[in-house]
Each structure stands twice: as structure tokens, then as C-alpha cells.
Chains A and B, each alone.
Chain A
Amino acid sequence: MNDSELIERLGRTRPTITPSVTLEQRVAQLARTKSATLARPVSGLPLIHKLGLGLAGAAIALMGGLIAAFGPRLSYANTLSRAAEQLRRVPIVHATTYRVGANGAESLISDAYYGKSQTKLTYQNEVWLWQKENGKDVLYAQLPSKGTWRDRHPAITQTPQERLSIFASLGKAIYFKESFRLFPAGNGEILVEGPDAARRCLVHLEPHDRVTLLETQVWDKGAWHPALRTRLEVGESTPTLFAPPQAAQEYKGENLLWTSYDNQVKALTKQAREAWERQDHPRLLGITDQWLAVAEAQQVRSGYGLRLADAWLYRTAALRSLGQLNEARNALAHAKRNQPTGEEVISIFQEEADLLPRK
């Protein structure tokens, strides 16, 4: 069989077949359906338009993802920002700060009252009073060591920053100089977390972003516990003392929302954190409470079988944190006399440095 014969034979086998009516109808129906689909506007768009729609869809999806990821945080940041603005603009009539004990009991630390002609700050056993007298701001102070009104100073000698500094150091509230993260806590509350993982702040907002409660919480025994609580009352009265209120915006060049609580609580939280890290003396965590601190230190030795020098060191730290420096020095002397180990000697040196009189 040569090529031409093969080709001829193949050609003869070409089937002569026509589609059945059923097949024609079936395929025609398919064609009509396809035509109807093609008649839809979107399907008829040019490729470039489809690409544009695709890109727009992707952009919308991306934006949606970003909003979902950061939206709540931005929203709360904005809310807190407005709340901070309220604190600056709306005069605070009354600010009360408490230390919260392990059993939830509150002990008063400070009480600040802004009046139209008088501002009074009570801090532990100290009372500070600013008032107008003969058109001048005059400061009165009563210190517990003296037992009486100590003196009468013309407040004019103090700059607004100095007055604010006094109030800030004693008022104990929230200090936002560090970067912080915001989380919704429900019930109109916002949690603020900073670089210190063992400390956070809860801000309670009333309607119109009015801040009514600031609560500092510390991480203790696997849970957050309130350590400091400041209740704020705002009013319409405009204080004549400490005016203008927006001076609070800047304090030593740092952004200050209200006042600082850092200095006063630092020693106690540090001690609590150190004890928590040790884990072998969990009861020492209660040392943050000033009614319990000395008792805790005294019971350390019998309760936990510590070395005597170590027990005196704990007592030293507790007394120092309470501001009872002479008693703390006496306790430190006991620690020195009770054969301290090398590690304890290091702690003794540290305590000695902390207890040095400051000029």
C-alpha cells in the first residue's frame, strides 16, 4: 500500500454524519444560555476593567483587614486621647487616690480638692493648702513631724511648674511618658499596658469620654490585682489656683496625662516583683500593703525558715518602702550582725546606698 492508496482509503472512511435533532437542540440551548450570560454587563467588561475591579476588590479587602486589625486599637487610642483632653480642659474638682490592699481594702493616700479660691491636698499625714489671701496665692503646709501648721509661704514664690510638681509627685495617678498599648476591657473601660509587663492601668470612661477612675494594677500570683485607685470628679467650676489647667500638658518636657504615680509605688512594686520572681516566698507579695509590711517582715523568719540576716534584709526593705528610714537602718544593722552570706552582703550594700540621706 503506497501513500496515495493510504490517503485515498482514509479519505473514503470519512464518516458522513449529521447531528440528530436532539443534539442540535441541546447544543443550541447551550449557546443561548451562554449568550444570555455574555449579555450581562460585568461579564462584557474589557479585560482592563476586570483587572481594575480585581485590584479594587483586593484593595478593599486589604483595607478591611487593616481596619479589622488596627481599627479597635486606633478607636480606643482616639477615645483615650479625647479623654486626656477632657482631663486637661475640664477642671477636676476632686481627686482621691487609694492604695488597694490584698483583700481589696482601700487605704487613702491622697485627697486633692480644687475650689474656686482654695486648693487642698492631703497626702498621708501631710496637708497642703493653697488659697487666695488679699489677692495673692498663699501656701500653708502641715507636716506630721511638726504637728502644727509649719509655715506660711507666699505661693507667689512658686512657679506653676513647681506647684504642679508637688501635686504630681503626691497625687499618684497615671503617667504616660512611655509607649503603651490599648485594649478594650468592656463596660467602657480601657486597659493601658506599657513596657513594664508587671504593671498596667485601667481607665474607666463615662459617657462623653469623661475619665472617672484610674486604676493601676500589678501582676501578682498569676493574676492582675489593683494596687492604686484614683477616683476623679470633674465639675464646671474653674479653679483660680493652679490655673491654667492646661499647664498639665507639659511637665518637665514629658507628656503628662494627669499626674505621676511612678515614684511612690516603684519601691513597693519592685519588692513585690522580686518576691514574685523568687516564688519561694509567696507570702512576701503582701508586702505592698503598709499595714501588713512590717508584720510580714517580722514573720518571715519563722514562717519560711529564712536565715536571720535575710529576714532582717526583708524587714529593712519593708521599712524603707514605708518611709521609716531610721527603723530601716536599725534593721539593716541587725542584718550585718547576723553573718550574712555573699549574696546577702551585696543586698546589704544596696540597702545602705538606698538609705543614705539625700541632700
Chain B
Amino acid sequence: MPLDRRTLLKRSAITAGTVAGTAAVAAPLVLGGPARSGRDYDVAKSLLVDRVVRTTCSANCTGSCGMLAFVRDGVIVKVQQAADYPDTVYNPRGCMKGLSYLNHVYGEDRIAKPMIRSGERGSGEFREVSWEEALDRIADGFKRIGATWGWDSIHVFGQVPGTGYIQKGANYRAAALLGMIHGTSFDFNGDLPMGMPITFGVQNAEHEAKDWANSRLLLLLGSNPVETRIPDVHFIFDALERGARMVVVDPVFSQTAAKADSWLQIAPGTDAALGLALCRQIVVDRMVDADFMRTYTDGPLLVRTDTGKRLREKDLVAGGAVDAFLAWDLKAGRPQVARTDLLGFPAGVEPALLGTYRVSLADGSSVVATPGYALVAAELERWTPERAAKITSVPADRIVALARAFAGTKPAAILMGGASNHWYHGDLTGRVFALLSALTGNIGRSGGGFSVYVGQYKVRVDVSPWWNAGGKMAKICPSIYFVRGRTETMHPDVPYPKQGWHGLFCSFANLFVQSMDVNRLHKTLAGLDLIVVVDHQKTETVKWADVVLPATTWYEKTDLTATPLHPYLQLQQPAIEPVGEARSELWIWRELMRRIAPDLAAKYFEMTEEDAIRAILRAGGGPGGPTEGITLEQLRAGPVRLNVPDPDIPFVKQIKDRLPFPPRSLPAPLERTAAFIQTRRIEFYKEEDRFIQLGETIPTYKEPYDDRIHDPATYPLTLLTPHSKWRIHSSYANNAWLAEIHGGRPEVFIHPSDAETRGLVTGDPIEIFNTRGSIEAWAHVANDQRPGAITLYQGWWPRQFRKGKGVNELTSSAVNPIHEIHYVGNMWAPSTGWKDCRCEVRKAGKAPRA
């Protein structure tokens, strides 16, 4: 241990400096207190409580952590992890944020009563009103909007469903009944890894966290589990203790990089270039799992060199099938149909992966065709380690070393995070690393796989009996089109309102802080007739509302939750009476429906949370269904593992039984997502027109998009806005306990070289700006940064910045037309590029804090 006493005390002062400072100014010394009988601490026991209630902490963090609420005299006096998972490796599960939730159940920002705006919009001036008045106001307002512009002009926005299927489902159900348009979250948050639907035909699919422990090599790509997967990161340490190695690819020396065996400090947004060089090296080293590529991927399927489209049976014979694809059988010397109902090829067929073949067509002409893999391999040839090194700044010898380690270690897992996905071309990065995983045969294998962890998006159960009403499902429009209006390339199936947006119902979301390109969003807001916000904290979004409704926390209501990170279904159960006049979303919508459409309310909303949960359990409870054998009574006692394989890893059936891709992505019907990959195989070649037009038929690398908007000469810095360990997005930003630790004000971390050229030192007020906006925070000169990039952790509230403007004034709302080729909300939809953002900084003036 290198520390001496002086250093130790100095570091104590650094980390808790603010704490000591606060204490020193406190009240004068008062001695005394009630007399006690000497050393009774020897026999002390815990103070008694009324009860202990098991619930689930489920912010939008993917944790979904079982918590116990300790209640004394009707108030919660402690929350602590339940640590009751039958699979005990998951215990205790839960982090410092969840443990400090008392700050939000009772803190000064808690909303206890309905409010109606009394000043200008955004002034934050409200008067407290009765529920009656608030509900009448909303019902009247929505009815007027419905009559004037159509119900579809009301946008219902709420964050990811996995955090609570019942209360979020109430929004979907109401939207389905009234014809309001429900927004999206997974794509809107930029978390939808578009590489997954493009390649595998699924929304996303990841290994449950405990499977990390089975890996021999963990390649973390822009993934920072030490900060953002706190309940799960110990599985990585389990793997390391068993001798695995961890490689972290990140522009910043992240807290996960501090734990890694190897850290590759990559240039932001260039991950795909690294991945391509890794794949090329594996090809050069002849380490490719060719059998995997032939059996499970579109590698052997022939592509016409004249049109760039796949060769189909109908091309060869009149009346042939449109959806029958062909491979070149080397043995027979002719094309062979590849089945779409069973992967692989019949014995005796030897499908070619390389070469070009002349094929005779039905009309008597002929065409040259080549296997998809040959096209991929041709692209890879261009990606020498030296070329990738120039783009990524990762040295060529380290790229080669990583490729050899990855190919030579089985199983090897790729964990991709938001930092790599949150780019305009994040889909290409996903496709490239999916290719790396496939080339090495790691797909569908415990300890391996290509997993993207970001967002608690996953619908693990059949929610249709609750979310849908009378068989009708809510229409869903990507919320990016709410923020910026429609694009020219928007898919025709997107239900964009004919008369534009005129109302907003926002619940469980801090939209006006956590939307990209906030200044553009405010233009939409200006045209809205009514803004309703449901929340339990006085957020910036609340400030812009016309009507505010006080929501319950998960210590005050009943809900059902799940997450991608572990396969346990859990309840949220009320530990206390709602604080003030807070009410659940289900209660709110029942009351609104009674006012708007009493007949529909009577038919579809006169039910309890328990009724809804039972209906969901029943719907998925058939043989082999996800909730088979699971009862509400079991869930009341604790977590219940869904009926999924153990460990829960994707594509096992496809790999073991050679069943066609994709598995179903709930709640969409299978045929909707199967349309993404017509070959029913893992697709590395895409033939849709727009892929061809944009030169993205095969996984490749493209420069960050914002470089085209902001000239790097004028805006030389990339603005990285990662998730912070102190917050879940903007939740917990107002947590008094945590603020004592981290200091409570937004800092911009900047490399010493960038700070020096701009004359900045730690603590300086700093302006960050680009063409979209300008904000002010404080500089922190830090050697963990990369020259040319700065880090401002996302989620701070505008009121915490100098001048009261938050970071998302700077971020981009650009839409990638590739994401508009198909449309299934939250599954193939515009995924946003938060990190694809250039800026410049300078020392700010001495303006007073807003």
C-alpha cells in the first residue's frame, strides 16, 4: 500500500472536502442530550419497525433490483437491497442511488399535489389545485384538441416499459382507446442498437449478466459497467478471478478501464474502423469459423453483381419463389436453394463462401453472382491495421494483438455500450462487431456473444391483454419526429399526425432535459395547446407543464418489472400510503377516461393493478410461455425467474436446432421483425435500395456525422455525454446525499493539453458551444480525457448549470435514413446519436449563476 498518513488524510480531504466544509459552518456547539445509562451500546439492537415490504427499484437503469422498505410510524426509514434472488450469485443487487431513494420519496423536490400553471409557460409558477380541477382541465383540453385537430395530434411520452409494465401500460391502453399517438423511448434514447435488427432481425438480444462470469475474454466497447452496471459488474470480477482477461476500448480512461488488463484509447466514433481491422486480421490469420458463416449467416447466399440484389429462385426459373435464396454448390457446380425454415445445407452440399459464378437466368440471359461473404471479405481487405490505426489512433501492433487474443480465446464476449451506439452511424459499429463475433463462432454460446447493454427496453412478458384494448394496439410514432417534425425519408407506415402535434402527455420522463436538440424541441412545444406532466419530482419538464399531476414512487404503488440484465420477474408493492395526494398512472387514466369516454372507462379501466398483472401472467402462461407456472402470490413473496433457459442467452435455439432467425421480439408479431432479414439468417449483406444508395450494403466505417455539420477546424472538440454513476439519466441529480460526494455541479472534464491552449484551469467557468446552442459549466482539467474530446456527464438539471441551460441544447437530432428503411417502433426506427456532437469551449465571463 503506497499511501502514507499525510497522503491518506489529504485524499480524505479531497473526496469529502465539501462535507467537512459544510459541517464547519454549522450551529454552535451544544453539549448534552438525554442522559443514558453508560455503555448500553454493547447490548443495543436495531430500533423496531412496523413492517418490511419487498419492492423493486426500477429507474431506467436496467438494474431492476429487489429492495426492502423498512417502515416505522408510517414512513420509510431505510431502503436496502432485498438480496433474495434464488440464484444467489445475483445478490445483493442494488446501488447507492437506490439506497438513497428516501431523498426522493420525501425530499424538497417531491410533488405532493396537482398543480395548474399560473404564470407564463416555463416560469415555474403554479397554483395547487384539487384533483377534480386538474383532471377536468385535462379532459376538457384533450377533448378540444381531439375535436379540433384529431386525437392523433396528442403525443403520449413515457420512458422504457421494462421499468413498470402496468403503469406504463396504462398510457398505452389509453392511447389505444382514444387514438392518441404513443411515443417511443428505446430508439429515441439512442439505445436501440440498429446493428441488431439489421443483422439479426431482433430488437436487441443480450446475455444475462451472470453469463459474463463464464467468459474467458471480455471485450468492452464503449461500455462502462463499473459506473453504469453497478449491480452486475461483479460478474466481470468473477471472470477475472477465474483467469479471464478484460480489454476496454474507450476514448476516456473510464472507471472500467481502471480495472481492465488492457485499455485502447480510441478516437471517438471510430470503433467500426477498429472492428474491421480486427475482422481482417482474423481472416488473414485463417482463424475464421467458416462452418459457422456457412450454416448460420447469409455468407454463402449469392448476390447479383449487376443489381446488388440477392439472387432468388424466381430469377432462375419462371414461377420460382421470391423468398427462396441461392448458394453456389461447389460439388455440383450449380446454384442450390437455401432453406429458410432450417439453417445450414443438406449433407453433400458444399456452399461456396468465395468466388464469382455465372448463373443462367429464366429469361435465357446470365448473370455473375458472388456469395455475400466474398463481398464482406473484399471490404475487409481494405482494413489493414495501419489504416485503422490512422483513423482510430490505436497502434497497429495492438490491433493485431487484440485480434489474435480474441480469435484464440473461447468463449470471448463483446459487451457494447451506449458510448459506441450513440452515434449517427452506430448501426455500422454494431454490424461490424456482430461480424467479429460471428467470424469467431461466439454467437449463441455461453460466455461469448455480442451483447449491447443500454436501456431497460425489454418486454419479457406478453403484455397484450393490458397494453391493448379491445384487440387494438396503440399507434406508435418515434418521438424524434415529435422533437424535430417529420423527415423527408420517414417511413410511410409511421403514424405521423396529419395536422401536426397539439398536445403532450408526458409521464415518467424528463423530456425537456433529456431530449436531444432541446432548442428544436421548444419550437414544437410552442405549438402545443396543452402539456400535461406526471412526475414525483419537480423537474425542468414540470416547469414547462400546463398541468402537473403528482405521481407515486415505486414505494407507493403496484407494478410489474423486468430487465434485460437478469431474467427475474418482480413486483413493486406499496410500502407506504402515497405521499401527499400522489396517485398512480392507472388511477390517473381511469379518472381521465371516466371524464373523456365513460363507456370506454367502464369497459376497459375499471380494473386494479393486480387484475392487469394476472392477465399478463395468464397470457404468457401457456406451455413454454415466459410466465408458465408463475402466480401473483409467488411474486408477492419475491423474485421469480421467468421460464427461460439458464443461463439466459440469445440465439441458442437458432444455433443448436438450426431454427431460422429471428426469435420473436415482444410485443411485436414475429412477421414484423422477420421482415428485416428475409433470408432468415444472420445478415451481413443488406440489399434494400437505401443500403445500396448509401454504400452500406456490408458492414463498414463512416466518419462521425456531426463533422459534416460542424467543421472540425472551428469546432475541434467532440462532446462526450456519458451516463454518470451518480445518476440514472436525470434521476438522482437532486439527491442531497450523493451531491455531498460528487460536489453537485456540472463539470466539463478536459485534457490538460486542450485546457492549456484555452487558458483553462480546474474550477474555471467554461462556455461550451456549437451552432445548436451555448451553455456554461465549470472546467475540470483531467488526465483521463483524450485530447480533442471533452466529457460532460449527462443528466444534470439545467438549474445546476451556470445560466440554467442544460447540455442537450448542444446535441443533435439528425436522423439516419437507414433507420427509416423499415418501421417497427422501438425495433427498426431512428436511433439517435447523442455522442455524435462537435463543440468548442472557452473561458466564460463572470456571469452570476442563474
Real complex partners, A and B? no
Residues of A within 8 A of B (CB): none
